[in-house]
Protein backbone atom coordinates (compact mmCIF):
# COMPACT_ATOMS: atom_id res chain seq x y z
CA UNK A 1 0.00 0.00 0.00
CA UNK A 2 1.20 3.52 -0.77
CA UNK A 3 0.94 5.92 2.15
CA UNK A 4 1.00 9.68 2.50
CA UNK A 5 4.80 9.96 2.55
CA UNK A 6 5.09 8.11 -0.75
CA UNK A 7 2.45 10.37 -2.25
CA UNK A 8 4.49 13.46 -1.34
CA UNK A 9 7.61 11.84 -2.81
CA UNK A 10 5.77 11.15 -6.07
CA UNK A 11 4.70 14.79 -6.34
CA UNK A 12 8.20 16.05 -5.62
CA UNK A 13 9.88 13.63 -8.03
CA UNK A 14 7.54 14.33 -10.91
CA UNK A 15 7.83 18.10 -10.44
CA UNK A 16 11.63 17.96 -10.56
CA UNK A 17 11.55 15.78 -13.63
CA UNK A 18 9.53 18.42 -15.50
CA UNK A 19 6.74 16.04 -16.44
CA UNK A 20 3.82 17.88 -17.96
CA UNK A 21 0.88 18.79 -15.74
CA UNK A 22 -1.42 16.16 -17.24
CA UNK A 23 0.92 13.27 -16.39
CA UNK A 24 1.49 14.70 -12.91
CA UNK A 25 -2.23 14.84 -12.16
CA UNK A 26 -2.90 11.33 -13.50
CA UNK A 27 -0.09 9.74 -11.49
CA UNK A 28 -1.08 11.63 -8.36
CA UNK A 29 -4.67 10.43 -8.72
CA UNK A 30 -3.50 6.84 -9.16
CA UNK A 31 -1.50 7.01 -5.94
CA UNK A 32 -4.42 8.50 -4.02
CA UNK A 33 -6.98 6.08 -5.41
CA UNK A 34 -4.92 3.05 -4.47
CA UNK A 35 -5.39 4.19 -0.87
CA UNK A 36 -9.09 4.99 -1.29
CA UNK A 37 -9.90 1.65 -2.91
CA UNK A 38 -8.08 -0.43 -0.30
CA UNK A 39 -10.17 -2.00 2.47
CA UNK A 40 -10.95 0.31 5.39
CA UNK A 41 -8.82 -0.28 8.48
CA UNK A 42 -10.02 -0.62 12.07
CA UNK A 43 -7.84 -0.69 15.19
CA UNK A 44 -9.39 -2.37 18.24
CA UNK A 45 -7.86 -2.42 21.72
CA UNK A 46 -8.65 -5.03 24.36
CA UNK A 47 -9.57 -7.61 21.72
CA UNK A 48 -8.76 -10.75 23.70
CA UNK A 49 -12.33 -11.21 24.99
CA UNK A 50 -15.75 -9.64 25.44
CA UNK A 51 -16.75 -6.63 23.37
CA UNK A 52 -13.29 -6.27 21.85
CA UNK A 53 -13.18 -9.81 20.51
CA UNK A 54 -16.70 -9.75 19.13
CA UNK A 55 -16.44 -6.31 17.53
CA UNK A 56 -13.18 -7.33 15.83
CA UNK A 57 -14.97 -10.21 14.14
CA UNK A 58 -18.02 -8.07 13.33
CA UNK A 59 -15.88 -5.37 11.69
CA UNK A 60 -14.06 -8.00 9.65
CA UNK A 61 -17.44 -9.24 8.43
CA UNK A 62 -18.18 -5.68 7.32
CA UNK A 63 -15.09 -5.75 5.10
CA UNK A 64 -12.61 -4.03 7.41
CA UNK A 65 -8.99 -4.97 7.78
CA UNK A 66 -8.95 -5.32 11.57
CA UNK A 67 -5.88 -4.77 13.73
CA UNK A 68 -6.93 -6.51 16.94
CA UNK A 69 -4.64 -5.63 19.82
CA UNK A 70 -4.34 -7.24 23.22
CA UNK A 71 -1.96 -7.03 26.17
CA UNK A 72 -1.63 -10.78 26.69
CA UNK A 73 -1.01 -12.65 23.44
CA UNK A 74 -1.66 -15.95 25.22
CA UNK A 75 -5.36 -15.14 24.76
CA UNK A 76 -5.19 -14.69 20.98
CA UNK A 77 -6.34 -18.23 20.21
CA UNK A 78 -9.88 -17.49 21.39
CA UNK A 79 -10.15 -14.65 18.88
CA UNK A 80 -8.59 -16.81 16.18
CA UNK A 81 -11.14 -19.57 16.83
CA UNK A 82 -14.13 -17.23 16.61
CA UNK A 83 -12.70 -15.56 13.49
CA UNK A 84 -12.20 -18.91 11.75
CA UNK A 85 -15.76 -19.94 12.55
CA UNK A 86 -16.99 -16.64 11.08
CA UNK A 87 -14.84 -17.07 7.97
CA UNK A 88 -12.91 -13.83 8.53
CA UNK A 89 -9.63 -15.10 9.95
CA UNK A 90 -7.64 -13.69 7.03
CA UNK A 91 -9.00 -10.17 7.66
CA UNK A 92 -7.85 -9.95 11.28
CA UNK A 93 -4.30 -9.25 12.37
CA UNK A 94 -3.63 -9.86 16.06
CA UNK A 95 -0.90 -7.75 17.66
CA UNK A 96 0.49 -7.25 21.14
CA UNK A 97 -0.21 -3.88 22.72
CA UNK A 98 -0.25 -2.66 26.30
CA UNK A 99 -2.06 0.68 26.11
CA UNK A 100 -0.20 1.90 29.21
CA UNK A 101 3.09 1.67 27.26
CA UNK A 102 2.89 4.99 25.43
CA UNK A 103 5.99 4.37 23.29
CA UNK A 104 4.52 1.06 22.14
CA UNK A 105 1.24 2.78 21.30
CA UNK A 106 3.02 5.29 19.04
CA UNK A 107 5.02 2.53 17.39
CA UNK A 108 1.98 0.35 16.68
CA UNK A 109 -0.12 3.18 15.25
CA UNK A 110 2.75 4.40 13.06
CA UNK A 111 3.31 0.87 11.80
CA UNK A 112 -0.36 0.42 10.90
CA UNK A 113 -0.42 3.80 9.16
CA UNK A 114 2.76 3.09 7.20
CA UNK A 115 1.57 -0.32 6.04
CA UNK A 116 -2.04 0.51 5.19
CA UNK A 117 -1.98 4.28 4.66
CA UNK A 118 -5.14 4.80 6.68
CA UNK A 119 -7.01 4.16 9.92
CA UNK A 120 -10.76 4.56 9.55
CA UNK A 121 -12.08 3.30 12.88
CA UNK A 122 -10.60 3.15 16.36
CA UNK A 123 -12.43 1.16 19.03
CA UNK A 124 -11.05 1.93 22.48
CA UNK A 125 -12.16 -1.09 24.47
CA UNK A 126 -9.20 -1.97 26.71
CA UNK A 127 -10.21 -1.75 30.35
CA UNK A 128 -10.82 -3.54 33.62
CA UNK A 129 -12.52 -3.02 36.99
CA UNK A 130 -10.99 -2.11 40.32
CA UNK A 131 -13.58 -2.53 43.05
CA UNK A 132 -13.61 -1.70 46.71
CA UNK A 133 -14.46 1.05 49.15
CA UNK A 134 -12.51 4.28 48.73
CA UNK A 135 -11.11 4.26 52.25
CA UNK A 136 -9.60 0.81 51.79
CA UNK A 137 -8.24 1.14 48.25
CA UNK A 138 -4.61 2.12 47.79
CA UNK A 139 -3.59 5.04 45.60
CA UNK A 140 -1.62 2.54 43.50
CA UNK A 141 -4.89 0.76 42.69
CA UNK A 142 -6.41 4.07 41.61
CA UNK A 143 -3.40 4.80 39.42
CA UNK A 144 -3.55 1.36 37.85
CA UNK A 145 -7.24 1.81 37.07
CA UNK A 146 -6.75 5.19 35.39
CA UNK A 147 -3.57 4.08 33.58
CA UNK A 148 -5.54 1.63 31.45
CA UNK A 149 -9.12 2.89 31.43
CA UNK A 150 -8.34 6.57 30.84
CA UNK A 151 -4.72 7.43 30.04
CA UNK A 152 -4.30 4.37 27.81
CA UNK A 153 -7.41 5.39 25.89
CA UNK A 154 -6.09 8.95 25.55
CA UNK A 155 -2.70 7.68 24.34
CA UNK A 156 -4.15 5.52 21.56
CA UNK A 157 -6.55 8.27 20.54
CA UNK A 158 -3.79 10.91 20.38
CA UNK A 159 -1.67 8.63 18.20
CA UNK A 160 -4.53 8.12 15.73
CA UNK A 161 -5.74 11.73 15.56
CA UNK A 162 -3.15 13.08 13.07
CA UNK A 163 -4.02 10.29 10.65
CA UNK A 164 -7.77 10.85 10.81
CA UNK A 165 -7.40 14.63 10.76
CA UNK A 166 -5.23 14.47 7.64
CA UNK A 167 -7.58 12.09 5.82
CA UNK A 168 -10.52 14.21 7.11
CA UNK A 169 -12.53 11.19 8.11
CA UNK A 170 -12.72 8.57 10.82
CA UNK A 171 -14.63 7.33 13.83
CA UNK A 172 -13.28 7.02 17.36
CA UNK A 173 -15.57 4.74 19.36
CA UNK A 174 -14.93 4.79 23.09
CA UNK A 175 -16.45 1.94 25.07
CA UNK A 176 -17.69 3.69 28.18
CA UNK A 177 -20.39 2.32 30.49
CA UNK A 178 -23.53 3.31 32.29
CA UNK A 179 -20.98 3.71 35.10
CA UNK A 180 -19.72 6.74 33.19
CA UNK A 181 -23.05 8.43 33.90
CA UNK A 182 -24.18 6.83 37.17
CA UNK A 183 -22.12 6.28 40.33
CA UNK A 184 -22.22 3.01 42.26
CA UNK A 185 -20.83 2.13 45.70
CA UNK A 186 -17.61 0.10 45.90
CA UNK A 187 -16.83 0.93 42.26
CA UNK A 188 -15.21 4.34 42.77
CA UNK A 189 -12.07 3.90 40.61
CA UNK A 190 -13.96 2.30 37.72
CA UNK A 191 -16.79 4.85 37.83
CA UNK A 192 -14.35 7.77 38.04
CA UNK A 193 -12.33 6.46 35.08
CA UNK A 194 -15.46 6.15 32.95
CA UNK A 195 -16.67 9.62 33.97
CA UNK A 196 -13.28 10.87 32.78
CA UNK A 197 -13.73 9.08 29.44
CA UNK A 198 -17.12 10.74 29.03
CA UNK A 199 -15.77 14.26 29.60
CA UNK A 200 -12.74 13.64 27.38
CA UNK A 201 -14.96 12.34 24.59
CA UNK A 202 -17.31 15.33 24.74
CA UNK A 203 -14.41 17.76 24.39
CA UNK A 204 -12.68 15.77 21.66
CA UNK A 205 -15.92 15.41 19.70
CA UNK A 206 -16.16 19.20 19.40
CA UNK A 207 -12.47 19.51 18.47
CA UNK A 208 -12.62 16.96 15.65
CA UNK A 209 -16.02 17.63 14.04
CA UNK A 210 -14.54 20.29 11.70
CA UNK A 211 -12.22 17.59 10.34
CA UNK A 212 -14.90 15.00 9.63
CA UNK A 213 -13.86 12.82 12.58
CA UNK A 214 -16.66 11.58 14.84
CA UNK A 215 -16.08 10.68 18.49
CA UNK A 216 -18.72 8.35 19.89
CA UNK A 217 -19.48 6.91 23.33
CA UNK A 218 -21.01 3.45 23.71
CA UNK A 219 -22.56 3.14 27.18
CA UNK A 220 -23.44 -0.50 27.93
CA UNK A 221 -25.36 -1.64 30.96
CA UNK A 222 -24.92 -5.18 32.26
CA UNK A 223 -23.93 -7.80 29.68
CA UNK A 224 -22.33 -11.21 29.86
CA UNK A 225 -18.65 -10.31 29.54
CA UNK A 226 -15.80 -11.20 31.86
CA UNK A 227 -14.81 -7.64 32.81
CA UNK A 228 -16.86 -7.76 35.98
CA UNK A 229 -15.93 -11.28 37.01
CA UNK A 230 -12.23 -10.54 36.50
CA UNK A 231 -12.38 -7.30 38.45
CA UNK A 232 -14.55 -8.52 41.28
CA UNK A 233 -12.40 -11.58 41.89
CA UNK A 234 -9.88 -9.20 43.43
CA UNK A 235 -12.41 -7.33 45.54
CA UNK A 236 -12.20 -8.01 49.22
CA UNK A 237 -12.40 -6.27 52.55
CA UNK A 238 -10.18 -6.93 55.48
CA UNK A 239 -11.52 -8.92 58.39
CA UNK A 240 -13.30 -6.61 60.77
CA UNK A 241 -13.70 -3.92 58.11
CA UNK A 242 -16.54 -1.48 58.78
CA UNK A 243 -17.59 -2.09 55.16
CA UNK A 244 -17.79 -5.88 55.35
CA UNK A 245 -21.58 -6.01 55.54
CA UNK A 246 -22.05 -3.45 52.76
CA UNK A 247 -19.61 -5.26 50.46
CA UNK A 248 -21.44 -8.54 50.95
CA UNK A 249 -24.71 -6.84 49.99
CA UNK A 250 -23.15 -5.26 46.90
CA UNK A 251 -21.57 -8.52 45.77
CA UNK A 252 -24.92 -10.27 46.08
CA UNK A 253 -26.50 -7.56 43.94
CA UNK A 254 -23.77 -7.76 41.28
CA UNK A 255 -23.99 -11.55 41.12
CA UNK A 256 -27.77 -11.35 40.82
CA UNK A 257 -27.52 -8.91 37.92
CA UNK A 258 -24.78 -10.97 36.22
CA UNK A 259 -26.95 -14.10 36.21
CA UNK A 260 -29.69 -12.41 34.20
CA UNK A 261 -27.45 -10.26 31.98
CA UNK A 262 -28.00 -10.77 28.23
CA UNK A 263 -25.23 -11.67 25.77
CA UNK A 264 -23.31 -8.70 24.31
CA UNK A 265 -24.82 -8.97 20.82
CA UNK A 266 -26.83 -5.74 21.19
CA UNK A 267 -23.68 -3.76 21.95
CA UNK A 268 -21.89 -5.16 18.91
CA UNK A 269 -24.84 -4.34 16.66
CA UNK A 270 -24.86 -0.78 17.95
CA UNK A 271 -21.14 -0.34 17.27
CA UNK A 272 -21.60 -1.56 13.70
CA UNK A 273 -24.49 0.89 13.23
CA UNK A 274 -22.20 3.69 14.40
CA UNK A 275 -19.51 2.61 11.95
CA UNK A 276 -22.04 2.58 9.11
CA UNK A 277 -23.60 5.94 9.99
CA UNK A 278 -22.18 9.00 8.18
CA UNK A 279 -23.03 11.26 11.15
CA UNK A 280 -23.34 9.25 14.39
CA UNK A 281 -24.49 10.80 17.67
CA UNK A 282 -22.19 11.34 20.63
CA UNK A 283 -23.83 8.88 23.05
CA UNK A 284 -25.47 5.48 22.66
CA UNK A 285 -26.78 3.94 25.90
CA UNK A 286 -27.24 0.20 25.33
CA UNK A 287 -28.97 -2.45 27.39
CA UNK A 288 -31.98 -3.39 29.41
CA UNK A 289 -33.15 -0.53 31.61
CA UNK A 290 -30.20 1.74 30.80
CA UNK A 291 -32.17 4.55 29.17
CA UNK A 292 -34.76 4.51 31.97
CA UNK A 293 -32.01 4.59 34.60
CA UNK A 294 -30.39 7.62 33.00
CA UNK A 295 -33.70 9.45 32.70
CA UNK A 296 -34.59 8.78 36.32
CA UNK A 297 -31.21 10.03 37.52
CA UNK A 298 -31.50 13.20 35.44
CA UNK A 299 -35.14 13.95 36.23
CA UNK A 300 -35.58 12.94 39.86
CA UNK A 301 -34.40 14.96 42.84
CA UNK A 302 -31.13 13.50 44.11
CA UNK A 303 -32.70 12.36 47.40
CA UNK A 304 -35.21 10.27 45.50
CA UNK A 305 -32.54 8.83 43.26
CA UNK A 306 -30.25 7.72 46.08
CA UNK A 307 -33.22 6.14 47.85
CA UNK A 308 -33.92 4.04 44.73
CA UNK A 309 -30.27 2.94 44.49
CA UNK A 310 -29.98 1.98 48.15
CA UNK A 311 -33.29 0.13 48.08
CA UNK A 312 -32.32 -1.85 44.96
CA UNK A 313 -29.13 -3.02 46.65
CA UNK A 314 -31.11 -4.53 49.50
CA UNK A 315 -33.46 -6.53 47.29
CA UNK A 316 -33.05 -10.29 47.58
Catalytic residues: 190
What are the φ/ψ torsions at residue 83 (nearest 5 degrees)?
A: -65, -40
With a CB cutoff of 8 Å and minimum separation 6, the contacts of 6 are 31
What are the φ/ψ torsions at residue 277 (nearest 5 degrees)?
A: -75, 135
Beta strands 213-220; 170-175: pairing state: parallel
Report how far apart, in Å, the C-alpha atoms of 223 and of each of 198, 230, 260, 313 are.
20, 14, 9, 18
With a CB cutoff of 8 Å and minimum separation 6, the contacts of 54 are 82, 264, 265, 268
Query: Do 262 and 288 contact (CB within 8 A), yes or no?
Result: yes
What do you get for the CA distance between the two ends of the chain, in Å?
59
Amino acid sequence: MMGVNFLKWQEYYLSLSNFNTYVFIVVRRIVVNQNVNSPPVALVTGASSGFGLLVSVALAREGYRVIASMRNMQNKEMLATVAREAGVYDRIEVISLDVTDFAAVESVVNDVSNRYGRIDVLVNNAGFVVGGFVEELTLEEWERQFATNFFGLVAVTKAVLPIMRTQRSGKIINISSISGRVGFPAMGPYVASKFAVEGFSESLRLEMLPYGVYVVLIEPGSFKTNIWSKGLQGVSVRSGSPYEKEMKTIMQYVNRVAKTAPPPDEVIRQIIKVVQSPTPHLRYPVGRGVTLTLRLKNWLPWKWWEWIVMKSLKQK
